Amino acid sequence: MYEQKLMLLYNECLQELKSIGIDMQNTEIVGNIDIKISTRASKRYGCCKQENPDRNYKVVKRVGRKRVINYERFLTHHIEVSSWVMQLNDEIIKNTIMHELIHCIPYCNNHGLEFKKYATYINQKLGYEVRTKGNREADCKASNIEYKEDINYKYKIVCENCGQIIYRKRFNQNLIKRYRCGRCKGRLKLVECKY
Ligand SMILES: [Zn+2]
Ligand SMILES: [Zn+2]
């Protein structure tokens, strides 16, 4: 039922971008984009899986002794919006779509300067709040839906001294026997495990 809503909002985003001179349907520049809802449990708002790198945009960087190859342009993009995001307000869903759409533009496959330039431009011109990182708690609150700290964890560990809560997907006894709280060096205690 959310698919229709996603397509509607996605098309609105495309039209709005066009109105400020960013034509995401110009396949010559941005390539092909598809979008769907991801049902994988993830804290991420969305992601943009890149495919078909353009060899003319190959960048080789040296990191220490290693050569790291990056591409600044891709011809196929698969955008995924997390299903929990679809329950939020339309503006927040559209911020997410806009964020992932920027990743489809050449030189924007990370949250670097080019990405930020586009985000700022879109925010100013269209009144969006595209950010590099979302705030799940604030967005859930704004949308009147229950906020769960972590939708993915199995183990909840608490520091007996300062109360800091740590979530883990994996657990072994060493975690509470040998390790101490990173904040205060207090003892850790397992308080919950979900299966
Ligand atoms: Zn991103
Ligand atoms: Zn502590």
Q: Are strands 66-71 and 58-63 parallel, antiparallel or unpaired?
A: antiparallel
Instruction: Note the ligand closest to the C-alpha atom of 179.
Output: 2
- For the chain, give every domain's residue range: 2-142, 155-193
- The answer to whether the predicted template modeling score (pTM) of the entire model surpasses 0.85 is no
Tell how far the Cα of 93 is from the centroid of ligand 1, in angstroms. 14
Per residue in 108-128, pLDDT tens? Answer: 999 999 999 999 999 999 999
Residue 74 Cα to ligand 2 middle (Å): 45
Q: In this structure, which long-range contacts are made by residues 12-20, counting pairs with CB atoms below 8 Å and at least 24 apart in sequence? A: 12/94, 13/94, 13/97, 13/98, 13/101, 14/101, 16/126, 17/98, 17/101, 17/122, 17/126, 20/121, 20/122, 20/125, 20/126
Q: How confident is the model at residue 150 (pLDDT cuts 50, 70, 90)?
A: low
Q: From ligand 2's centre to the CA of 189, what distance in Å?
A: 11
Q: How confident is the model at residue 194 (pLDDT cuts 50, 70, 90)?
A: low
- Compare 169 and 35 and report the one with higher pLDDT: 35
57-92 per-position pLDDT tens digit: 999 999 899 999 999 999 999 999 999 899 999 999
- Determine the average pLDDT of the residues in 28-49: 91
Q: What is the pLDDT of residue 195?
A: 57
